[in-house]
Amino acid sequence: MPRPRQLHDAYFHRAKAEGYAARSAYKLLQIQERFGVLRRGDRVLDLGCAPGSWTQVASEIVGLGQRAGVVGVDLLPLSIAPPPNTTAIIADAFALSPEALPGGGAPFDVVLSDMAPNTVGTGDDLRSVTLCRRVLELARGLLRPGGAVVMKVLEGSGYAELLRDTARLFAASKGHRPDATRQVSREIYIVAQGFRPAVRGAPARPGPAQQVSPAQQVSPAQQVGPDAPREPSAPRTPSAKGKPTGRRKPPESPA
């Protein structure tokens, strides 16, 4: 019999104590410690950014600079005040166009996606794969050569094919399950680095979302929430294991 989901676990309490909007902050911190996908001065696109924990982590790592910063996109607003180097816009990832993003068309160094469908028990994995394929569509037109993608997917039908398709676009890609992932969860993160845009058949700019079968369709209401591989970031990043210093005042009710 599967163990019941524990909502208020140790990561929940750490998020509340350390000022993160949600416990999912530690998933990205652990991915960063393992792969070094983010570095100071990066321009980052954060898809499915609400409530804001990944936006917080990314903004702390990339810092302030002429082009550094995070652009968050979600159907819902952030539950926190956006950090100084962050712009959050309310939009549907399936209707998103480069012209709608701030930055004058400048490419992104990293695309993050913590998007997930509302789970209903049947076809959840297919809807999750559909979200990830939209991330790859956007990355083809928005990511700089050598850039990175981190995206959440539910293991199941379509995962292996999605991982193979991702490998065609990047020098290195693999599935990774951070320690902060709940034991009962099927979610896994595809970490892809070294974007190679010159892939046969890859569009220069992202177009409309591709047509999918009814079982794969994801409605807006169901969305929660640059040619060499990049080197790991030189500056130290906030640790997922140690306690950060100088944290902001914690929010009253993290997710």
Amino acid at site 220 = P
Q: In degrees rounded to 5, what are phi and psi of residue 87?
A: -120, 125
Burial of 120 (0-12, 13-18, 19+ CB in 10 A): exposed
The single residue listed with the structure tokens 């410690």 is 33
- Residue of 152, 174, 241, 243 marked active site: 152
Residue 152 annotated as catalytic:
yes
User: ∠ CA 40-172-153 to the nearest 5 degrees?
Assistant: 85
Q: How many CA atoms lie within 13 A of 167 on its CB side?
A: 9
Cα distances from 91 to residues 94, 116, 128, in angstroms, run 9, 15, 18
- Residues in Cβ contact with 36 at an 8 Å cutoff, skipping those fewer than 6 apart: 230, 231, 232, 233
Catalytic amino acids? 152
